[in-house]
Structure 1
Amino acid sequence: MTYLSIENVDKHFDRGGVRSEVLKDVSLDIAQGEVISIIGHSGCGKSTLLNLIAGLTEVSSGGIQLEGREVNGPGPERAVVFQNHSLLPWLTVYENVNLAVAKVFGRTKTGAERHDWIMHNLDLVQMSHAKDKRPTEISGGMKQRVGIARALAMQPKILLLDEPFGALDALTRAHLQDAVMDIQKRLGNTMIMITHDVDEAVLLSDRIVMMTNGPAARIGEILPVPLERPRNRIELAGDRTYLKCREAVLKFLYERHRFVEAA
């Protein structure tokens, strides 16, 4: 059985009697523990597709199943990390993570067990030292680490990342990419990430899903990334397979962009 199955999904929005077709006939099977990147030009429905998987938006037709069960609403087995960390500014780092832990494990873990679980997930992202700080007292990269810790603390089956590093400087982004690779290696999470960064997609992914331009966007190509793990960005800089994958994604995006300009 496929772990996550997206079958012939369409999504449209109706506003003021006008229908906007966002996604058309999108089908994709994802294996347990796989890392998938979704890439494409702005307006191609990447975030909409992620929201459909998260259950934050309903499909117009088709269906999404996780372990054979229909996805028809949000649930803790699908945790989302947005580009904006979405931390509550009046709560500490510890308290922000506790929000998720209390909601998911409030009836199944004791107070001591919940505390240990919060600290465990802060340790995973190297943020336990800042547990008593508030979001205004830490950097943007640290806020994203806390957002990832909060998502991981829900013990999700799938981690959904919506351009989680897009607002960060290049060095912070690189450190967080390495952290996410390390966490995924240790936990074996299934991850689906939206990105505009070609190098990020190739570095992190097992497969890259390339979307056509909207409206009515589809999956244009799916590119396997046959690079062994663990991956080292310095060693891969001149790797022929890495460069070939990077070239394939750039070619796809360039040709789609040229199509838009010609239209």
Structure 2
Amino acid sequence: MDKFVELTQVGKHFDTKKGRFQALTDVNLSIAKGEFVTLIGHSGCGKSTVLNLIAGLLEASEGGLICNGREIDGPGPERGVVFQNHSLLPWMTCYGNVYLAVEKVFAGKESKAQLKERTEAALDMVGLSHATYKHPNEISGGMKQRVGIARALAMQPKVLLMDEPFGALDALTRAHLQDELLRIVGETHSTVVMVTHDVDEAVLLSDRIVMMTNGPAATVGDIVKVELARPRDRLTLANDPHYHAYRTAVLEFLYQRQQRPAA
């Protein structure tokens, strides 16, 4: 496997009033170009910490991280992030929110006409051409999240990082956006790392599911390789024995090998 993103013996601790908290220890993970990887585990297992380390929003306490042959030493446009909260600027339209990111990355390299075309293409990709000039308070939660995805994709990142992007949405909207994401990734062949709590979401979307042990000092406990043909259809997979075998393997890890921590 070509190592496009690589984490080697990565650890992360935080200094708190109660002393040092070791969030992660000895995390080793290689991700291939074009691969869709999900991180799953119980709350507090360091999933988002791993994602933020890859994004460059946190600095590793131990070990090293590489993306496309270069050390990760801070945020960069080659790594686009979609947060659980859409994080849109309320005074800007959908177009304005995406254009702001495009301008930041491509200003001086492309004309204003090209920046406009890039922005419109990203909104069209997530099915929001009709909402181009609407403000965040004029659209639904699912549409806001699609703007966030469009904003990240418009920067043409080498890696798309997603931190439970559908976690706050209702079941039907969530399913629709999962299908949209499958379509978009199929078109763009993006490398994706996504944090989720949802086992079905992980199996539906992933090439590999990285299962984290419980914190503190969490690490990679096991990895499930999902060998389901693409494109994937959720209705077809509902009766697929291989789908259910992958689902069972993840559930077994989470609820038998890794007992839920006490509240």
1:19–1:111 Cα change, 3 Å: same
Partner of 2:204: 203
Greater mean deviation of Cα atoms: 40-49 or 252-261: 252-261
Q: CA deviation at 1:257?
A: 5.0
Question: What aligned pairs does 1:215-230 form with structure 2 within 5 A after superposition?
Answer: 215-230=216-231
Greater mean deviation of Cα atoms: 112-121 or 251-260: 251-260
Contact 1:105 1:114 in 2 (8 A): yes
What amino acid is the match of 2:8?
E
> What is the distance in 2 between the residues matched to 1:249 and 1:17?
34
Partner of 1:53: 54
Partner of 1:83: 84
Instruction: Describe the superposition over 1:48-86 as per-residue Cα deviations: whole angstroms up to 9, x where unpaired.
Output: 000000000000010000122100000000010011000
Partner of 1:64: 65
May I ask how many residue pairs the two structures share in their alignment?
Answer: 262
> What is the distance in 2 between the residues matched to 1:177 and 1:259?
26
The alignment partner of 2:10 has SS state of: strand
> What is the distance in 2 between the residues matched to 1:251 and 1:58?
32
> What is the distance in 1 between the residues matched to 2:163 and 2:260?
26
Partner of 1:125: 126
The alignment partner of 1:142 has SS state of: helix
Partner of 1:112: 113
> What is the distance in 1 between the residues matched to 2:259 and 2:25?
21
> What is the distance in 1 between the residues matched to 2:257 and 2:142?
32
Query: After TM superposition, what 4+ stretches of structure 1 lie above 3 angstroms from structure 2?
Result: none
Question: What aligned pairs does 1:154-233 form with structure 2 within 5 A after superposition?
Answer: 154-233=155-234
> What is the distance in 1 between the residues matched to 2:97 and 2:69?
32
> What is the distance in 2 between the residues matched to 1:29 and 1:95?
36
Contact 1:213 1:256 in 2 (8 A): no
Contact 2:42 2:260 in 1 (8 A): no
Normalising to structure 2: TM-score of the pair? 0.98
Question: What aligned pairs does 1:30-41 form with structure 2 within 5 A after superposition?
Answer: 30-41=31-42
> What is the distance in 2 between the residues matched to 1:256 and 1:20?
23
Partner of 1:141: 142
Contact 2:213 2:258 in 1 (8 A): no
Partner of 2:250: 249
Q: CA deviation at 1:255?
A: 1.6
The alignment partner of 2:216 has SS state of: coil
**Structure 1 unaligned blocks of 5 or more:** none
Identity %: 61
> What is the distance in 1 between the residues matched to 2:121 and 2:259?
48
Normalising to structure 1: TM-score of the pair? 0.98
Partner of 2:19: 18
> What is the distance in 2 between the residues matched to 1:99 and 1:138?
19
What amino acid is the match of 1:72?
D
Partner of 2:97: 96
What amino acid is the match of 1:21?
Q
Contact 2:203 2:243 in 1 (8 A): yes
